[in-house]
Amino acid sequence: MPREVLLVRARGLWEGLAGVPVSFAPTGGVRVVVSPESALCPLGWVGVVALSGSAIVTVPSQSAAVIVRDALASLPVEDVVDGVVVREVLPVARVLGPATLAYASPEGFRSVEAGALTVEQLPSGDLELRLLEQVAGHEDAGEAALDEITSPVFVVREHGQVVAAAGYRAWPGRAAQIGVLTAPQARGRGLARVTGSAAVAHALAAGLLPQWRARPPASRRVAAVLGFEELGSQLSLEIA
C-alpha cells in the first residue's frame, strides 16, 4: 500500500470521528468546525488532528470556534498540535498529548518472530491483564488502555505471570487502535515488539487499519520496528 493510500485511509478515519462533515485540505492548512459530539477529544474539549501538512479541529460551540479560528490562523500546521505553542495563543486549562499517529499497511508491516518465547491469547477482560496494569503503574497502563481492547490479547509470561501484553480496540472506520504494555522488570528485551507484532498481524488479517497512537519515545520506537509510518499527531485541549 503506497504511503498516499495509507494517508487517505488515516484521514478518512479521523474525518469520520469528527462527527460532522469536514475534510483535510489537500493543499494544507487548518479547518475548524463545530462538533459538540466530536470523538477527536473528550466531550466539551477542542480536538486537533494533523496529518501530513493538513489539520482538522473540532470545537464544542460557535463561540469557541471564533476564538480558536482566530488563534490558530497565524500558526503553521505543525504548531497547532504543539501544546506549548498553542498555550501561547489560547487560554488553555488542560492538555492531552500531543500523541504521534502512525499507521501500518500489509506491505509495510514487519513481523517480529517470537523465537524461544511463547505467545498466548487471553480474552480482553482477563483478570491477569488487570494485574499487569497494576504492576506497570497508572500512567503506562493508561497509555496502553488494555481495558478498552476488543480483540484477543496476546501475552508473554515469565514464571507463570503475564509480563507483556498487546491487542487492539476496533474503532469506527475499520481501524484498530493498538495497545501494548510491558511490566517494568521485563522491559528492554523486545517483548513489546513480539506481542505488538501478533496484535498487528491479527488486525491486518481482519482487514483493519492498524493505528499506533503514542507519546513515549520507547513506544514510538517499537512502532517503527514493526513498520508503522508516522503521518501526524493528535492534541486535545480544554479551553479555560
Residue 132 lies in a domain: yes
CATH number of the domain that residue 224 is part of: 3.40.630.30
Do 220 and 180 share a structural domain?
Answer: yes
Do 55 and 92 share a structural domain?
Answer: yes
Do 222 and 135 share a structural domain?
Answer: yes
- Residue 93 in contact with residue 240, Cβ under 8 Å? yes
Position 2 scores a pLDDT of: 76
Position 74 scores a pLDDT of: 86
- Residue 118 in contact with residue 88, Cβ under 8 Å? no
Do 132 and 95 share a structural domain?
Answer: no
Do 65 and 10 share a structural domain?
Answer: yes
User: What is the separation, in whole angstroms, between the first and last Cα of the chain?
Assistant: 42
Do 138 and 55 share a structural domain?
Answer: no
Provide the residue range defining the domain that includes 144.
120-231
Tell me which residue of 64, 51, 43, 59 sits closest to 14, measured CA to CA: 51
Residue 108 lies in a domain: no
Per the structure, the count of domains in the chain is 2
Residue 94 lies in a domain: yes
Residue 111 lies in a domain: no
For residues 153 and 42, give the distance between their C-alpha atoms in angstroms, rounded to a whole number: 26
Residue in the structure block whose three cell numbers are 515488539:
193
Q: What is the DSSP letter of 149?
A: -
Position 131 scores a pLDDT of: 94
Do 226 and 127 share a structural domain?
Answer: yes
Amino acid at 80: V
Residue 115 lies in a domain: no
Local confidence pLDDT in tens for the 240 residues of the chain: 678 889 999 999 999 999 999 999 988 899 999 999 999 999 999 999 999 999 999 999 999 999 999 999 889 999 999 999 999 999 999 999 999 999 999 999 999 998 889 999 999 889 999 999 999 999 999 989 999 999 999 999 999 999 999 999 999 999 999 999 999 999 999 999 999 999 999 999 999 999 999 988 889 999 999 999 999 999 999 998
Residue 114 lies in a domain: no
Residues 6+ apart with CB under 8 A from 38: 17, 18, 19, 20, 47, 58, 60
Residue 110 lies in a domain: no
Do 186 and 141 share a structural domain?
Answer: yes
Which backbone phi and psi does 46 adopt, to 5 degrees?
Answer: -100, 130
Residue 112 lies in a domain: no
Do 220 and 183 share a structural domain?
Answer: yes
Cα dihedral 26, 57, 217, 120 sign: negative
Partners of 230 in the β-ladder: 102
List the grid coordinates of 197.
507484532
SS3 240: coil
Do 9 and 95 share a structural domain?
Answer: yes
For residues 103 and 225, give the distance between their C-alpha atoms in angstroms, rounded to a whole number: 12
Do 141 and 226 share a structural domain?
Answer: yes
For residues 53 and 199, give the distance between their C-alpha atoms in angstroms, rounded to a whole number: 29
Do 81 and 32 share a structural domain?
Answer: yes
Residue in the structure block whose three cell numbers are 472506520:
173
